[in-house]
Structure 1
Amino acid sequence: MALQDVQSEPQTLGIRAACRRVNRSRRTLYLWMAQGMPSRKVGGGRFVELDDLLTWYRRAMVNERRGQFQPGNTAASRVN
Structure 2
Amino acid sequence: MTLAELRRELAKVDHLPGDTIVILSKDAEGNGFSPLDEVDPSMYHAETEWSGEHYMTEEARQAQDRPNDYTKAPDDAVLAICLWPTN
TM-score by length of 1: 0.23
Higher strand share: 2
TM-score w.r.t. the length of structure 2 is 0.22
More helix by share: 1
